[in-house]
């Protein structure tokens, strides 16, 4: 009987492994196609999309050079703007939402409960519902530069971040903060010296998710920023067009590959923190 149960359990595990393997392959195929086609000549990207780059198809690193030198807008400038926007936005989201979540979790009032549910509700609102009003508001408030657009990202990233932080803060014993208050710590010192170090798993997890989101985002910078002056990497790739709107797909694939390599490396390096942070912040409380 035990052998039969063990065999059935093993079959379920094998079936699940096969299903997950198929799903993994489906997700990986687009990335592989980007890698393969980034080394092909433009003509063969269109006609032999799934073929390996060999022989006359091989373009080497010419696509990368062409993509980075195309047009009058330097690619390195787009990289710098993407880095600035991503780092500033992530820092602002982590700082403001973690402090707000600590306040919401510790102050048991109707206002905090309403604020919390509004933040959670914001996660289900499609960006398309507010994008036109947002672009007009950003122009009026002068939030249309790489140094001010992080404020806009703070508004859109606050929902998920506060949801995760509140769940984790509720798991922290209140006695620790009371002991800090007895020792003479004020609210700010209690937060930065006591609460924030304990928030490390969720801080890392939220930071990784926000970095991946902001780095790859196209629509928000496209609507808010002056694209003639400020272009992030996704916008730069969008403008790889020649005369009559023709697109060099080889150069486009090359720049897409350059843009996703940092995200993939970053995610693979920090994926264990994502799992730990989500488990710690979104389940407890």
Alpha-carbon span 119 to 23, nearest angstrom: 32
What mean pLDDT do residues 29-57 have? 85
- For position 180, what pLDDT does the model report? 86
What mean pLDDT do residues 274-282 have? 59
Alpha-carbon span 156 to 29, nearest angstrom: 30
**Could you count the other beta carbons within 10 Å of the beta carbon of residue 192?**
12
- For position 282, what pLDDT does the model report? 47
Q: Which two tokens stand for residue 107?
A: 């102050």
Q: Which two tokens stand for residue 222?
A: 């496209």
| Beta-carbon contacts of residue 235 (< 8 Å; ≥ 6 apart) | 78, 218, 221, 222, 225, 227
CATH number assigned to the domain with residue range 73-281, chosen from the 4 options 1.10.3720.10, 1.20.1250.20, 3.30.420.10, 1.10.10.10:
1.10.3720.10
Q: Which helix (H) or strand (E) holds 266?
A: helix 249-281
- For position 101, what pLDDT does the model report? 93
Alpha-carbon span 255 to 275, nearest angstrom: 30
Alpha-carbon span 40 to 127, nearest angstrom: 36
Task: Calculate the average pLDDT of the chain.
Answer: 85
Q: pLDDT-based confidence at 285, cuts 50/70/90?
A: very low
The residues facing 247 across adjacent strands are 241
Alpha-carbon span 164 to 181, nearest angstrom: 25
191 has a pLDDT exceeding 70: yes
Q: Which two tokens stand for residue 234?
A: 């996704």
Asked whether 102 and 169 are in contact (CB, 8 A), the reply is yes
Asked whether 101 and 166 are in contact (CB, 8 A), the reply is yes
Asked whether 135 and 224 are in contact (CB, 8 A), the reply is yes
Asked whether 144 and 79 are in contact (CB, 8 A), the reply is no
Q: Which two tokens stand for residue 156?
A: 């859109």
What mean pLDDT do residues 103-114 have? 89
- For position 170, what pLDDT does the model report? 87
What are the pLDDT digits (tens) for 139-176? 888 888 999 999 999 988 888 899 989 988 888 888 88
110 has a pLDDT exceeding 50: yes
Residue scoring higher pLDDT (153 or 226): 153
Asked whether 211 and 93 are in contact (CB, 8 A), the reply is no
Minimum mean pLDDT among 48-62, 149-163, 270-284: which range? 270-284
| Beta-carbon contacts of residue 6 (< 8 Å; ≥ 6 apart) | none
| Beta-carbon contacts of residue 251 (< 8 Å; ≥ 6 apart) | 42, 63, 64, 66, 67, 70, 240
- For position 280, what pLDDT does the model report? 56
């Amino acid at each position: 009987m035990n052998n039969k149960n063990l065999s059935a359990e093993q079959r379920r595990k094998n079936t699940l492994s096969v299903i997950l393997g198929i799903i993994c392959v489906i997700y990986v195929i687009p990335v592989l196609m980007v890698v393969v086609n980034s080394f092909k000549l433009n003509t063969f990207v269109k006609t032999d999309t799934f073929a390996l780059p060999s022989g006359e198809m091989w373009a080497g690193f010419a696509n990368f050079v062409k993509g980075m030198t195309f047009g009058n807008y330097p690619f390195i400038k787009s990289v710098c703007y993407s880095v600035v926007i991503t780092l500033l936005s992530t820092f602002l989201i982590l700082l403001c939402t973690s402090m707000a979540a600590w306040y919401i979790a510790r102050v048991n009032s109707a206002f905090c409960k309403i604020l919390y549910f509004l933040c959670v509700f914001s996660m289900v609102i499609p960006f398309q519902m507010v994008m036109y009003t947002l672009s007009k508001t950003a122009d009026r408030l002068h939030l249309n530069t790489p140094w001010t657009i992080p404020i806009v990202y703070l508004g859109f990233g606050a929902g998920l971040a506060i949801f995760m932080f509140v769940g984790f803060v509720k798991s922290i014993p209140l006695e620790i903060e009371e002991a800090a208050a007895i020792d003479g710590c004020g609210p700010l010192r209690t937060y930065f010296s006591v609460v924030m170090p304990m928030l490390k798993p969720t801080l890392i997890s939220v930071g990784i998710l926000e970095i991946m989101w902001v780095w790859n985002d196209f629509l928000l910078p496209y609507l808010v920023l002056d694209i003639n002056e400020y272009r992030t990497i996704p916008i730069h790739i969008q403008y790889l067009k020649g005369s009559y709107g023709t697109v060099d797909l080889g150069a486009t694939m090359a720049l897409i590959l350059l843009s996703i390599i940092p995200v993939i490396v970053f995610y693979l390096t920090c994926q264990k923190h994502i799992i730990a942070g989500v488990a710690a912040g979104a389940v407890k409380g």
